[in-house]
Amino acid sequence: MQLGILYGISVGTGDPELITLKGLRWLQQCPIVAFPAGLGDRPGIAQQIITTWLKPQQTTLTLNFPYVQDESILVSAWQQAAQQVWDYLKQGQDIAFACEGDVSFYSTFTYLAQTLQELHPEVIIKTVPGVCSPMAIASALQIPLTIRSQRLAILPALYTINELETALDWAEVVVLLKVSSVYQQVWQILHQRKLLAHSWIVEKATFPEQKIYRNLARYPRLQLSYFSLLLVKASDI
C-alpha cells in the first residue's frame, strides 16, 4: 500500500485568513487533521485557528506536546505523537498537521517530523510556509519590521539577560519571543538603555483579543499571555 503524506501546514498567527491558498487546499483535502492539544480541556491554538476551515467528514487528531523542559518527557511525547501519526500514514491516509504561525519557525512540527523520520525513514513529509509572529506583529503595529540595511535579531526566548544585551549591541531591530516570563528583567534592560519608548509588546497578534502595548515606560509590570512578543527598534535608520 502507498504511504500517506504528512503535510505541515502553517496556519498563521491567529486570524484564520492568514493561511496561504496552498495551505488551505492541503488542509481541506486531508482526511485527517492533527494539531497540538491545548492546555487543560481547552482547544489548542492551531485548532482554534482552523476550526472554520474544517469539513464535517474530516477526522481530527489531537497530539500531546507537554509544555515542559524535561528532555526525556519531551522525547517520549514526540515518539508517542509520531506513532499516532504513523498509524494513519501506513494505512495510506494523508495527515495535515496545523501549525500556529509558520511551520519552520520554532515550531513543534519540527520535532514531530524529525522523530517520524528517525523511526520511519521512508515517511514523506511536505510543508507549506506561512505568516510567522514577527511579521504578524509588524502588521498589527502598522510599521515595517526592518528597513534599509537594518539588522534583525530574533531571540526565541531569553535564557540569560546577556543574550538581550548582545542582540541590542548588534542589531537595530530586536524581536524577543516568549517574553511573558522574563518581562520585568527585560523592562529593566530597556529602561537602562533608554529604549522603552522604542519598544512594543503585542499579545495574541491577529486574534480578536489582540492587545498592543506602546511606550513600555508606562508598563514596568505586565501579566502577559504566552502568545506575546516584544519588538525593539534600537534605531530608526
Ligand X SMILES: C[S@@+](CC[C@H](N)C(=O)[O-])C[C@H]1O[C@@H](n2cnc3c(N)ncnc32)[C@H](O)[C@@H]1O
Distance between CA atoms of residues 117 and 102, nearest Å:
20
User: Do the Cβ atoms of 134 and 175 come closer than 8 Å?
Assistant: yes
> Which of 18, 26, 33, 204 is in the footprint of ligand X by CB under 6 A?
204
Residue number with the smallest Cβ distance to ligand X: 101
In the complex with ligand X, the residue whose CB is nearer, 3 or 125, is 125
- Residue 101 binds ligand X (CB under 6 A): yes
Q: Give CA–CA dist 143/146, Å, rounded.
A: 9
- Give the list of residues 6+ apart from residue 11 with CB closer than 8 angstroms, or none: 18, 19, 23, 27, 46, 49, 50, 98, 99, 100, 130
Q: Which of 106, 111, 213, 219 lies at the binding interface for ligand X (CB under 6 A)?
A: 106
Instruction: Give the number of residues in contact with ligand X, rule: CB under 6 A.
Output: 21
Residue 53 interacts with ligand X (CB under 6 A): yes or no: no
221 alpha-carbon distance from chain centroid: 24
Count Cα neighbours of 8 within 13 Å in the Cβ-side half-sphere: 22
229 contacts ligand X (rule: CB under 6 A): yes
Stretch that binds ligand X, among 81-89, 90-98, 119-127, 222-230 (CB under 6 A): 222-230
Provide, rounded to whole angstroms, the least separation between the CB of residue 35 and ligand X.
13
> Which residues contact ligand X (rule: CB under 6 A)?
13-14, 100-102, 105-107, 132-133, 136, 177-178, 202, 204-206, 226-229
